[in-house]
Amino acid sequence: MKMSGRGAATGLPLLLLLMATCSVVLAWSDNCGQFGNCTTCTGKGGCGWCLQPTGNSLLNGSCVPGEDSGPTNFLTCSRWFYQDCHNLTECEAATCGDCADLSGCGWCASSKFCLPGNSTGPNEDHLAVCAKPYWIWGKANCPLEPTVTPSQSPSHSPSASASPSISPSASASPSASPSSSPSATPSPSASPDLCPTLGTNCTTCVAGAQCLWCPTSKACFNSTRSPGQCQGEATNECYDEYCANFTKCADCTKQTVCGWCNYTKCVAGSHLRPDRGSCLAYQYGSCAAIPCPQFADCAACTQPGNTHCAWCDPSLKCLPIANPPPKPGDAECPSNWFYGECPAPVDCGMHRFQLPLLLVHRERNGLLLLIFPRRGGDDSLGGGAIAGIVIGSVCAAGIIPAAGFLWYRFYYSRRHYYATLA
């Protein structure tokens, strides 16, 4: 179909404009891949350097489209550099010993990265990459390096001055405590494999060269000499133990290597999913509101599927629970947590009807004072207020000591409080 002169004049520039716009967008998104190092990549607008979770050099990365907060293609990066490379080229080393020889550099035992820092830990902008419990400062604290001779298989030849010691910060968890050091100067034939001697926690294990950690058996083994010793995936990263230190969602989701699982625990993971297993509810980067408070009674709170909620009887509230479950005396609920099925009411053998509860007051001696509001109409209880004392779930008598008030029988059902005319 032939276009009119006016239509052709109007349509052609519009078409050319759209084609030019698409070309610019495509060129912008594709141009990042042509840069092969961090410096040239971060010098290009709209591009950033994404370092993959393995490797200890800036060369083990790729240039991808992104912005200050991270890549725009949802790629998971162990480190992200945008606009500059934070002078990390000064701390490039493949081993802990070589890293310790560089001024202002320390070794991260979990990721095996050489990073800028000092004796207290890595620089602040790298805390998400290397937590302080995994920080090694000084050559004397580096793990023992293997020595290989033509006549022997790879083995560790430790020196008397070196021992695998990691000094956690004050905030480190007990799981990141130093493990026992192997005896000094053993011969290669007496100690063919040093990895099993590095303790029973991931941190000290992965600090050893060629050592891998098995999360299922909690064992450390040599990756080149012990194939098939781990049922599951062996790792040289300790993100599982690191994330487990965080017991609150807000703290957990601030860690770039962690996510909040089923409203109860912090696990290693990315923005896509947990590293191991699965979670019915998984939060990364932020914490969504937990729906527990919307349930108004015990039955609704503990219905099947609400595995992250529990009913607190003294406060009559549905609250989120942690793993393991809370115990009587916890700050959020002093006693009587209920999961699953709620207990049946205690029937005192009299005609009953439910009244709205006005006040619950628990005395120090464990007695419970119940006060109900005034009720009008045929079902009123004398038009006055009712008070009673309940011990556990035992029926008791109650009265408000004032003229014109009646006596009532009470009983306690753990969820509702009932009264009948005595």
Q: What per-residue confidence (pLDDT) applies to 314?
A: 67
Q: What per-residue confidence (pLDDT) applies to 262?
A: 72
Q: What is the pLDDT of residues 135-149, one digit of tens each?
A: 888 888 887 654 433
> Residue 45: in which H helix or E strand, if any?
none
In the block, tokens 């000064």 appear at 90
Residue 65 lies in a domain: yes
- Structural contact between residues 297 and 308, judged by C-beta atoms closer than 8 angstroms: no
Residue 235 lies in a domain: no
Host domain of residue 325: 292-338
- 331: CATH: 3.30.1680
| Spatial separation of the C-alpha atoms in residues 2 and 90, rounded to whole Å | 65
Residue 197 lies in a domain: no
Q: Burial level of 260, CB count in 10 A (0-12/13-18/19+)?
A: buried
- Structural contact between residues 129 and 122, judged by C-beta atoms closer than 8 angstroms: yes
Residue 67 lies in a domain: yes
Residue 370 lies in a domain: yes
Interstrand relation of 146-147 and 155-156 (parallel, antiparallel or unpaired): antiparallel
309-312: strand order across its sheet: 317-320, 309-312, 337-338
Q: What per-residue confidence (pLDDT) applies to 376?
A: 41
Residue 61 lies in a domain: yes
Shared domain check, 296 and 325: yes
Q: What per-residue confidence (pLDDT) applies to 131?
A: 67
The DSSP line for 145-158 is PEE--TTS-SEE--
Residue 216 lies in a domain: no
Q: What per-residue confidence (pLDDT) applies to 98?
A: 85
Q: What per-residue confidence (pLDDT) applies to 85?
A: 74
Shared domain check, 299 and 262: no
Residue 297 lies in a domain: yes
Q: What is the pLDDT of residues 359-397, one digit of tens each?
A: 444 433 333 444 444 444 333 333 334 444 333 333 343
CA distances from 332 to 246, 298, 302, 328 (A): 19, 16, 17, 10
Domain closes at, from 47, 64, 85: 85
Number of domains present in the structure of the chain: 4
293 preceded by cis ω (within 30°)? no
Q: What is residue 312's three-state secondary structure?
A: strand
What is the token pair recorded at 401?
């000591």
Q: What per-residue confidence (pLDDT) applies to 94?
A: 77
What is the token pair recorded at 321?
């629970």
Low-confidence ranges of the chain (pLDDT < 70): 1-30, 52-60, 74-76, 78, 86-90, 110-111, 125-129, 131-133, 144-192, 225-228, 280, 305, 313-314, 322-341, 343-422
pTM: 0.34
